Amino acid sequence: MPTMRLGIIGLGGAAKQMVPSFLSHPYVAITAAADPRDDARSAFAAEFGARTHATAEALCADREVDVVYIATPHQMHRDHAALAARAGKHIIIEKPMALTLEECGDIIAVAEANGVHLLVGHTHAFDAPILKMRALIREGVIGPVSMINSWNYGNFLYRPRRPEELRTDAGGGIIYNQVPHQVDVARLLGGGMVRSVRSMAWTLDPTRPTEGAHVTFLQFENGSAASLVYSGYDYFDTDEFHYWIGELGEPKRPDCHAASRRALEAMTGTGSEVAAKAGGGFGGGRRLTVPPQNEWNHPHFGVTVVSGPDGDLRQSARGVTHYGRRGAVEHPLDPPRVFPDKSGVIDEMYDAFAGLRPILHDGAWGRATMEVSEAILRSAREGREVGMSHQVPVRD
């Protein structure tokens, strides 16, 4: 099998979480990375022996890179994707794909014009239990999907943030950061074709002046519907409803409520939150805590239940549970191959690179998810149902 050489743009928290999955693939080599922060580059070079560059331009000019993983702040995604595509590099782009539908269209066009693969990594739609739920739906285990319900309550708004992450007009808040995961998962399970969106969203803390909660109703073309609920206010935590397993698959302590609020309150000085945010990336002081291997679970994005005439499917601790006519039947999965296990992303890109299968989460798919996410914001602001025009079906 061919080796796929990977370069990373942006050595922050997202890259730190993704690198273990890249390294877990037998035919992927991390050859280079780019970040303007000196300490991030030094730490990365020391850990992986990869070349580092101060700019995205230099990384895209690197001949030892086949695929670029773009993990920079949202507002840079379009430009970095264009640089990569024009240099002939295949692209994995972090969520959200971009900030507007127009930007998404630009990314799709530049990838097509340069003949490169484009994968949009809403990582939770690649979680093994979600892909298993999709496979069980295709097998007809619950019959045609009627309802999809997704609940996620957590601490999103009180994790350390860069200033623009708290400004909706700069791509901050849950609608650009978290809700796209929910939408991508719901679209995957519901067949992809959303007909309309109705939403309400709230900014409940004036010191964090961006949307932190929403409730949304999606109607699909095929007659199914989804309700999506998210709260990032660090009060209730839906991990309680998921066996006290955290988002990355780690065991979680049940006494965590409001801990992120308290940690934030304890920070002093204007730069300390920004420094704490940078501390989660390469060159920062915070290490990714890896539990003992026998405690690894698959990642999840709250509680997701899918229903049909023949039962309900729910992500369980180690797989998917089908609640059917004969009771609950467990469909176990292989344990995670790495922690955190985001390997679905790299597997999908590698398989396209090696010519084994086309990309499922491609540019058109990512734009359709962005269309729904943008409509959630619009529907909440304008108090009306919003119709869709860029939806694409699941191609599996």
By CB under 6 A, name the binding residues for ligand NAD: 9-14, 17, 34-37, 40, 56, 71-74, 76, 94-95, 123, 162, 177, 277, 280-281
Nearest to 88 by CA among 52, 123, 64: 64
d(CA 61, CA 76): 18
Nearest to 28 by CA among 63, 2, 4: 4
Closer residue to ligand NAD (CB): 123 or 307: 123
Closer residue to ligand NAD (CB): 38 or 330: 38
Specify which residues 229 forms β-bridges with.
Answer: 151, 215
Closer residue to ligand NAD (CB): 10 or 191: 10
d(CA 212, CA 113): 38
Which burial class, exposed, middle or buried, applies to 156 when counting CB atoms under 10 A from its CB (0-12, 13-18, 19+)? buried
Nearest to 290 by CA among 7, 2, 94, 23: 23
Minimum gap (Å) between residue 108 Cβ and ligand NAD: 17
Minimum gap (Å) between residue 156 Cβ and ligand NAD: 10
83's enclosing H/E stretch is: helix 77-86
Closer residue to ligand NAD (CB): 97 or 380: 97
d(CA 114, CA 76): 19
Minimum gap (Å) between residue 15 Cβ and ligand NAD: 6
Minimum gap (Å) between residue 257 Cβ and ligand NAD: 22
Minimum gap (Å) between residue 146 Cβ and ligand NAD: 29
Minimum gap (Å) between residue 100 Cβ and ligand NAD: 14
Closer residue to ligand NAD (CB): 39 or 312: 39
Nearest to 193 by CA among 225, 150, 216: 225
Q: Which residues contact 295 (CB under 8 A, 6 or more apart)?
A: 250, 251
Minimum gap (Å) between residue 180 Cβ and ligand NAD: 8
d(CA 11, CA 276): 15
Minimum gap (Å) between residue 185 Cβ and ligand NAD: 12
Nearest to 4 by CA among 75, 67, 74, 81: 67
Phi, psi of 217 (to 5 degrees): -120, 120
Closer residue to ligand NAD (CB): 59 or 141: 59
Specify which residues 176 forms β-bridges with.
Answer: none
d(CA 71, CA 281): 11
Minimum gap (Å) between residue 144 Cβ and ligand NAD: 30
CB atoms within 10 A of CB 236: 13
Closer residue to ligand NAD (CB): 10 or 308: 10
Closer residue to ligand NAD (CB): 145 or 376: 376
Closer residue to ligand NAD (CB): 111 or 276: 276
> Under DSSP, is residue 31 helix (H, G, I), strand (E, B) or coil?
strand
Closer residue to ligand NAD (CB): 193 or 288: 288
Which burial class, exposed, middle or buried, applies to 203 when counting CB atoms under 10 A from its CB (0-12, 13-18, 19+)? middle
- CA distances, 178 to each of 34, 95, 105, 120 (Å): 25, 9, 21, 14
Minimum gap (Å) between residue 78 Cβ and ligand NAD: 12
Residue nearest to ligand NAD (CB): 12
Residue with tokens 């595509």: 85
